[in-house]
């Protein structure tokens, strides 16, 4: 009788510890999953022909996509910002082509008209939107985050 009683008093604490360990491991796994970056959508507003600003947006795209490849990104260029994607004007063509694997590049048709830039002058795969500001506003209404590019 004493043996059975001793066995029960030994097993109960062990079972309790095993249950606590399983719960702790499950909670740690859930916490680790919540630390993983969640995909999001962000639109970058580029109006500058400054090479530092243009390099910054390309760097951001590469950094964000390396950390969180499911993030959706779009660079909207108007004003002098469209120089980034105009053949003969850009000095960052290879960087733009690399970033296009992770982000969409869109230029404003109004800015193109004002600067006398033809669609044929744009780098391949650059989209033209009727109004750059309207594109940004539409993205924000659809829940996209907004970043003004500057340094």
Q: What is the pLDDT of residues 48-95, one digit of tens each?
A: 999 999 999 999 999 999 999 999 999 999 999 999 999 999 999 999
Query: Residue 116 to residues 13, 85, 107, 112, 120: CA-CA distances in angstroms?
Result: 80, 14, 13, 6, 12
Domain co-membership, 60 together with 120: yes
Mean pLDDT score, 30-49: 82
Compute φ and ψ for 106, nearest 5 degrees: -130, 135
Residues 6 and 77 reside in one and the same domain: no
Q: Radius of gyration (Cα) for the chain, nearest Å? A: 27
Interatomic CA distance for residues 39 and 34, integer angstroms: 12
φ, ψ for residue 72 (rounded to 5)?
Answer: -95, 130
On whether both 60 and 18 belong to a single domain, the answer is: no
- Spatial strand order of the sheet with 103-108 comes to 127-129, 103-108, 72-77, 41-46, 145-148
Kindly state whether residues 31 and 61 are assigned to the same domain: no
pTM of the complete model: 0.77
Q: How confident is the model over 136-140, as a mean pLDDT?
A: 98
Asked if residue 84 lies in contact with residue 47, where contact means CB atoms within 8 angstroms, the answer is no
Mean pLDDT over 111-118 rounds to: 97
148 phi/psi in degrees, rounded to 5: -85, 125
Q: Are residues 32 and 79 in the same domain?
A: no
84 within 8 A of 54, measured Cβ to Cβ = yes
- Count structural domains, the chain: 2
Separation of alpha carbons 144 and 125, rounded Å: 22
* 51, 28: one domain: no
Judgement on whether residues 62 and 25 belong to the same structural domain of the protein: no
Strand partners, 43: 74, 146
Read off the CATH number of the domain in which 100 is found.
Answer: 3.40.1260.10
My answer on whether 57 and 17 are in the same domain is no
Do 130 and 63 share a structural domain?
Answer: yes
Give the pLDDT of residue 3.
57
Do residue 31 and residue 100 come from a single domain? no
Structural domain harbouring 30: 1-36
Give dist(CA 94, CA 116) in Å, integer: 24
């Amino acid at each position: 009788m004493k043996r059975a009683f001793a066995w029960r008093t030994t097993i109960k604490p062990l079972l309790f510890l095993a249950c606590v360990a399983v719960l702790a491991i499950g909670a740690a796994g859930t916490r680790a999953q919540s630390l993983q970056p969640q995909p999001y959508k962000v639109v970058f507003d580029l109006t500058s022909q400054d090479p530092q600003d243009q390099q910054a947006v390309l760097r951001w795209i590469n950094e964000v996509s390396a950390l969180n490849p499911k993030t959706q990104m779009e660079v909207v260029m108007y004003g002098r910002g469209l120089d980034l994607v105009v053949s003969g004007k850009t000095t960052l063509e290879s960087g733009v082509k690399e970033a296009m694997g992770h982000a969409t590049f869109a230029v404003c048709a109004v800015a193109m008209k004002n600067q006398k830039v033809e669609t044929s002058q744009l780098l391949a795969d650059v989209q033209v939107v009727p109004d750059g500001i309207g594109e940004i506003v539409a993205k924000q209404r659809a829940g996209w985050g907004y970043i003004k590019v500057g340094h």
